[in-house]
Structure 1
Amino acid sequence: MKETIGVALYDRFLRGLARSPRRAALRVGARRLTYEELHQKALVCAGSLLDGTPEPPKAVGVLMEKGVDAYVGILAALYTGAAVVPLHPGFPADRTAMMIEAAGVSALLADDRGLAGLAGAKPDLPVLALGSACLDSRHHIPLSPRAGLAEPRPVAGTDPAYLLFTSGSTGRPKGVPIRHGSTRHYFELLDKRYDFHEEDIFSQTFDLNFDCGIFDLFCAWGAGASVHPVPPHAYRDLPAFVAERAMTVWFSTPSAISLVRRTGRLAPSVMPTLRWSLFAGEALRARDAAQWQESAPRATVENIYGPTELTVTVTRHSWSPETSPGLCVNGLAPIGTVHEGHDHVLLGPDGEESGAEGELCVTGPQLMTGYLDPADNRGRFLRRDGRDWYRTGDRVRRLGNGELVYLGRLDAQVQIHGWRVEPAEVEHAVRGCAGVDDAVVVARTTDEGVELIAYHTGRFVSPVLLAGQLRDVLPDGMMPKRFEHLREFPLNSNRKIDRAALARAAAEGDREGSGS
């Protein structure tokens, strides 16, 4: 008999519960929670929230460190029938308060660190505190087993499942609501694509306010598998951590590959237990895909791509050592084909459809209906053929086999003395220089115009030698004005290269490392 699943995102956990009630749904450090235990904790938290608020909340914030309570909180918020709003306890208090207000959060699940991070900006709303923090009675919701729900509250496909915030061009975060119906379509596609099962062990590398974390949790829980968050210290010897956990599914940003390489642990066949290795969040270099494939020879390596507004990911390319290298552009792996049930077009600079290269626009069931603030919709949607299409802001090229390859952001392209320069192309050239491991190229504006700054890792190479090598492959108009050697790139909370931090350093003339 064919197994069916309801429309709610939490129905995926309920399916895992039915399949694997006594298996570990979650392991954080040495602590394990079975599906039954996690389910019961979430029901108690959800019931306590509903009992402690005047009316059922439409949005519940989860402001916790990435530990057991945070995962309970994510599930509990969904069980209330509200949209879950994951919040990062390390963010500035004013920014978090802004998100809480914008999302219409009317109840908060928080731990000690989360509450401490809101010091001076505590919103006037009820809080269920998991930890030892003291709250005044006006805000405190007691955790009451007697209030626990018998089952999660029902939701409709049009109801928001979660609300995430992406960075906005004005400096104000943009709220992205994703509906239960969109997540259902997404995970049904993934169920057909991947053979995940009860014995799988999933990594969980992403912070919970990053949409790729939704993939980890609900792919694993929908299969009755186990989720293992990866602690920062594990990256000192990641293959050993993967082996100790007998991990079978890895998912991270590509920056993790460079990080493991720098530890000297990325060797052939060191991760034989992996069956799937998935990368998203930033461009995947061909060199990194090939080296990871050698380290996990039994795994299928995939590059998956998608903005938050299109429900986690909307394309995928399976890496083939034989054919994929020939499809790469600027040393970057293809992002593949768009998901079933979706249409896409490429728009040229004139706004007309281009067959070969342009801005990627996508429509289909994974598309959000609009930002929380309607003002943020301006310029992000295209009305075409009676449908709304999301303008990703990403430049892509259509290859001969129909797959797409990422070229860079539209807003990253710069003009230097009349040259239209794509930083990704310059980065590829810098990576080709002897001694360079990785490179990030940013633009800065000076009194004399726009110039490029190249940050690079690997061994130190003098700027004169780098410039000499690059003159063989780049015209003068594309040459970086300055080179900066770094031991490692700064990473943001989601372990992606923090390009914004490098751009700020360039703009301020901050000469980290050695300059030209």
Structure 2
Amino acid sequence: MEIRNGSSAAAAAHDPCRRLRSQLALIVARGGLRPDEPAVRHAGIDWDYATLVDNAQRIATGLVASGVQPDAIVALSAERTPLGLAAILAVLQVGAAYLPLDTGYPPARLAMMLQDARPDLLLSADDTLAATAPQIPRRTLAQLMAQQARPPLLGDGALAYVLFTSGSTGRPKGVAMTRRCVGALIDWHRHHPRLGLPARTLQFAPLAFDVSFQEILSTFAVGGTLVLPSDDERRDPHALLALIRNERIERLFLPYVALQALAEAALQEGEAPDSLRDVITAGEALRITPAIRALFTAVPQAVLHNHYGPTEAHVVSAHELAGDPRAWPELPPIGRALPHVQMRVVDADGNALAASVEGELLLGGDCLAAGYVHRADLTAQRFVILDGQRWYRTGDRVREGADGAFDYLGRCDEQIKLDGYRIEPAEIEAVLCRHSAVAEAAVVAVGGDADRRLVAHVVPRRMPAADEALIAELRAHCGAELAPYLVPQRFAVTAALPLTSSGKIDRRELARAAAAPAPQWPADAPLPRQLDALWRQLLGLDVIDADSNLFDLGARSITVVRALTELRQHGFRTLTAAQIYEHPSIARLAAWLAGDAPPPVADAALRGERQRAALTRFGPRTESSL
């Protein structure tokens, strides 16, 4: 098969190594040429480009004074605020790479990330992470902001950022993304006939998610405005819909689950956001549902863009859906290669396959990451040399269609895609097997597109007198070592794991055994029993204590969205996601809905914050942007 790419003479003529530097220079220049234009809107307050650039340059000056050099790694713990975005620009301006840290992650995981990445500086809003890595030099944003901004500092480095993804060895791996790749992607955005136009853009993705770079840099590079939602607005599709309407959002990057939830909310309310022009989705296979068709029928001027790409290459292909949504395929293709990308389909031995033949997708060109930080062995496994050229093995099965667009067919291995995250079951299994009570463990995903959840099947060394105590212990054990999105929502204790005829774990049988029925609403039952039935089915549990905290039992942001949708359909139309977080047990929620309002749980906001990473699509690409 021929190598598919979208290269052009114009793209080749532009030095790919200097693209990002030029784009940052454009942003800096806009602060002087068009200083009053709004750059960021947050909580009803605007930052114009002059303010954004001035703050970025103050922080950049402070970084240089702190000894940060091009290609240094700066670990950044910052909230989704205008100052947090200025800090990102500052790190990029001085030629360094930034490592986003989500403080919702357990301290053990953050410490592991810092140990592996070996950053040169830890930059944060406060000293919260001081104890996590005391050996790393630290600065706060306030300390750097005390600097007097100097003329633009535009350093030349090779790396843009480092992001950690799930690892099959049981340890997450840090992807070191190149400026060459990021610059080429933003350059493609700038020259796109639709995405190259300035727009009011929602900054939905968490900063630890690679789509956030696409949102931020593609918006600033063309002079658009980023609108930052609150966490409550991100978690609640009805609140998000209201924000999109009120702020007249024109461009939206949403993972599939969040897009589906937003479409359902618009359908329930009977009012679509008529300001939308472009919706970009990534993270998992796009499915055109009746609700999504209805949404785009109501906003006929809007185009749906389906983007694909793993964290190791960011966005590599795109497909646009326009016109009558009734004619859109249920499973759209992932499209054709971007101008700087090469795509090749191979068999298990690396031999190129003809068009229309299913195989593994390899990626090449100016889209590839440098590799995994300080993991030369793993880098050599995934980034291979074929015919004298460097390629990344995606592990994704694809097929090229007659029109040259590629169809995504699933994974070649056991990797799971859940809420936009790439999850290696082996990582979770390794953590479970480190517990002294566990002999074997296998993790599978069950459920449909909108309600997939992780189920851990555990073989104990000794069968416990009661499963509940062991499950509670294992849930706490996983919560202490894994990111929230990696903690299984359900645990099943079993005497043995099923095996295939070849002696391998029969994961299909495990998934069938763990499958749970769709939520059913017992209309004639009292409210507490209705809530009990709903949450038991959402969480895949046989019994729930009415006073148990639902988040301790495995609830996460997407579960809250599903519960909210069900409850609104049954008359509780004013209920918000924030109220579920504030009343996180069946008893408390029933009392709240009945009008007997108990005080909110004191740590509900913190608990909700720790769950937000579990929703890409409502939370952080996905770690891959399919």
Aligned to 2:138: 127
Q: Which one of 259, 264, 267 corresponds to residue 261 of structure 2? A: 259
What CA distance in whole angstroms lies between the structure 1 residues aligned with 2:615 and 2:453?
Answer: 18
Aligned to 2:452: 440
1:486 equivalent to 2:486? Answer: no
Asked if the contact 2:162/2:175 (under 8 Å) is kept, the reply is: yes
Asked if the contact 1:197/1:224 (under 8 Å) is kept, the reply is: no
Where do 1:222-371 residues align within 5 Å?
222-234=221-233, 235-261=237-263, 263=265, 265=267, 270-287=272-289, 289-310=292-313, 312-320=314-322, 327-328=329-330, 332-355=331-354, 356-371=357-372
What CA distance in whole angstroms lies between the structure 1 residues aligned with 2:387 and 2:132?
Answer: 46
Could you say what secondary structure the match of 2:53 adopts?
helix
Where do 1:211-226 residues align within 5 Å?
211-226=210-225
Could you say what secondary structure the match of 1:379 adopts?
helix
Deviation at 1:384, TM superposition (A): 1.7
What CA distance in whole angstroms lies between the structure 2 residues aligned with 1:19 and 1:301?
Answer: 33
Asked if the contact 2:397/2:408 (under 8 Å) is kept, the reply is: yes
What CA distance in whole angstroms lies between the structure 1 residues aligned with 2:403 and 2:77?
Answer: 45
What CA distance in whole angstroms lies between the structure 2 residues aligned with 1:219 and 1:457?
Answer: 42
Aligned to 1:164: 163
Aligned to 1:151: 152
Asked if the contact 1:22/1:36 (under 8 Å) is kept, the reply is: yes
1:44 equivalent to 2:33? Answer: no
TM-score (norm 2): 0.63
Count of residue pairs the alignment pairs up: 439
Deviation at 1:119, TM superposition (A): 5.5
Asked if the contact 2:272/2:295 (under 8 Å) is kept, the reply is: no
Could you say what secondary structure the match of 1:318 adopts?
strand
* Structure 2 CA distance for partners of 1:36 and 1:344, relative to 1, 3 Å: same
- The residue type paired with residue 49 of structure 1 is L
What CA distance in whole angstroms lies between the structure 1 residues aligned with 2:381 and 2:305?
Answer: 31
Aligned to 1:460: 520
Task: Give every structure 1 segment of 4 or more consecutive aligned residues whose post-TM-superposition deviation is greater than 6 Å.
Answer: 54-57, 441-445
Q: Deviations over 1:352-397 (max 9, x none)?
A: 3333211111111111232222122143123222101111111122
- The residue type paired with residue 362 of structure 1 is L
Deviation at 1:203, TM superposition (A): 0.6
- The residue type paired with residue 200 of structure 2 is I
TM-score (norm 1): 0.76
* Structure 2 CA distance for partners of 1:448 and 1:309, relative to 1, 3 Å: closer
Q: Deviations over 1:41-81 (max 9, x none)?
A: 11111212222348777121211222232112111212222
Aligned to 1:189: 188
Could you say what secondary structure the match of 2:381 adopts?
coil
- The residue type paired with residue 166 of structure 1 is T
Identity %, equivalent residues: 26
Deviation at 1:261, TM superposition (A): 4.7
What CA distance in whole angstroms lies between the structure 1 residues aligned with 2:519 and 2:266?
Answer: 14
What CA distance in whole angstroms lies between the structure 1 residues aligned with 2:455 and 2:107?
Answer: 30
Aligned to 1:495: 615
What CA distance in whole angstroms lies between the structure 2 residues aligned with 1:346 and 1:55?
Answer: 39
Could you say what secondary structure the match of 2:201 adopts?
strand
Deviation at 1:302, TM superposition (A): 0.9
What CA distance in whole angstroms lies between the structure 2 residues aligned with 1:206 and 1:290?
Answer: 23
Asked if the contact 1:160/1:178 (under 8 Å) is kept, the reply is: yes
Gaps of 5+ in 2: 1-9, 417-443, 458-495, 500-505, 523-535, 540-557, 561-610, 619-626
Deviation at 1:172, TM superposition (A): 1.7
Gaps of 5+ in 1: 132-140, 415-426, 432-436, 463-483, 499-516
Deviation at 1:13, TM superposition (A): 2.3
* Structure 2 CA distance for partners of 1:448 and 1:125, relative to 1, 3 Å: closer
The structure carrying a bigger strand percent of its residues is 1
Could you say what secondary structure the match of 1:10 adopts?
helix
Could you say what secondary structure the match of 1:486 adopts?
helix
Could you say what secondary structure the match of 1:308 adopts?
coil
Asked if the contact 1:106/1:126 (under 8 Å) is kept, the reply is: yes
Deviation at 1:439, TM superposition (A): 4.9
What CA distance in whole angstroms lies between the structure 2 residues aligned with 1:370 and 1:33?
Answer: 36
* Structure 2 CA distance for partners of 1:295 and 1:278, relative to 1, 3 Å: farther
* Structure 2 CA distance for partners of 1:391 and 1:143, relative to 1, 3 Å: same
Deviation at 1:343, TM superposition (A): 2.2
What CA distance in whole angstroms lies between the structure 1 residues aligned with 2:70 and 2:366?
Answer: 28
Aligned to 1:407: 409
Asked if the contact 1:269/1:296 (under 8 Å) is kept, the reply is: no
What CA distance in whole angstroms lies between the structure 1 residues aligned with 2:70 and 2:385?
Answer: 36
Considering only aligned residues, what root-mean-square deviation do their CA atoms show, in Å?
3.4
Deviation at 1:22, TM superposition (A): 1.1
Q: Deviations over 1:233-269 (max 9, x none)?
A: 3233333211111111011111112323554656666
Asked if the contact 1:23/1:35 (under 8 Å) is kept, the reply is: yes
Q: More deviation in 260-269 or 103-112?
A: 260-269
The structure carrying a bigger helix percent of its residues is 2
Q: Deviations over 1:73-107 (max 9, x none)?
A: 11121222211222212122232233234333112
* Structure 2 CA distance for partners of 1:492 and 1:397, relative to 1, 3 Å: farther
Where do 1:379-394 residues align within 5 Å?
379-394=381-396
What CA distance in whole angstroms lies between the structure 2 residues aligned with 1:103 and 1:324?
Answer: 47
Deviation at 1:337, TM superposition (A): 1.0
Could you say what secondary structure the match of 2:372 adopts?
coil
Could you say what secondary structure the match of 2:283 adopts?
coil
What CA distance in whole angstroms lies between the structure 1 residues aligned with 2:351 and 2:193?
Answer: 36
